[in-house]
Structure 1
Amino acid sequence: MLTSLEFRLLATAKAAPELRHRLRDHGHDVRLCATELLTNVIDHLGEGTPVTVRVIGTAAEHGRVRVEVTDPAPDSPPVLRSAAGWEESGRGLALVDALAERWGVDVGPDRKTVWCELVGDGRADGRPVSGAARPTAPARGR
Structure 2
Amino acid sequence: MRWLGRGERRVLVANGIDGCMTRKPWELPFLAEPEEVAALRRVVRLHLRLWGLSDVADAAEICVSELAANVIRHVGAGTPSTLVVEMNGTRLRLGLRDPDTRELPRGMSVGLDAETGRGLALVEAVSDRWGVILGADSKLVWCDLATQLASPNGHVDQPWVTRSEACLTLYGAGAATMDRAQGRAGFAVQQETAIALIADLLHWLCAHGCDPDAALDRAQMRFESTVTAR
TM bucket (normalised to shorter chain) is 0.7 to 0.9
Identity %: 37
- Give the secondary-structure state (helix, strand or coil) at the position aligned to 2:59: helix
Letter in 2 for 1:105: V
Measured after TM superposition, the shift of residue 98 of structure 1 is: 1.3
Q: Residue 55 of structure 1 corresponds to which residue in structure 2?
A: 85
Give distance in 1, aligned partners of 2:148 and 2:37. 22
Q: Secondary structure at the match of 1:3?
A: coil
- Between Structure 1 and Structure 2, the one with more strand by share is 1
**Pairs within 5 Å for 1:121-136:** none
**2:136 equivalent among 109, 125, 129:** 109
Gaps of 5+ in 1: 128-142
User: TM-score if structure 2 supplies the norm length?
Assistant: 0.49
Task: Tell me which amino acid in the other structure corresponds to 2:29.
Answer: R
State the SS of the aligned residue for 2:34: coil
- Cα 1:121–1:30 shift into 2, 3 Å: farther
Larger helix fraction of residues: 2
Instruction: Answer with 1 or 2: which has the greater Rg.
Output: 2
* Number of residue-to-residue matches in the alignment: 121
Higher relative contact order (CA 8 A, sep 6+): 1
Change in Cα spacing, 1:7 to 1:121, as seen in structure 2 (3 Å) is farther
Task: Measure, in 2, the Cα distance between the counterparts of 1:86 and 1:101.
Answer: 25
- Give the TM-score taking structure 1 as reference length: 0.78
* Deviation >4 Å, runs of 4+: none
Superposed CA RMSD in Å reads 1.9
Paired with 1:9 and 1:74, the residues of 2 have a C-alpha distance of 18
Q: 1:99 to 1:8 in 2, by over 3 A?
A: same
> Match of 1:29, as an amino acid?
A
**Secondary structure of the structure 2 residue equivalent to 1:51:** strand
- Is contact 1:65–1:121 with CA below 8 Å preserved after alignment? no
Displacement, 1:21? Answer: 1.0
The structural deviation recorded for 1:82 is: 1.2
Q: How does 1:3-14 map to 2 (within 5 A)?
A: 3-14=24-35
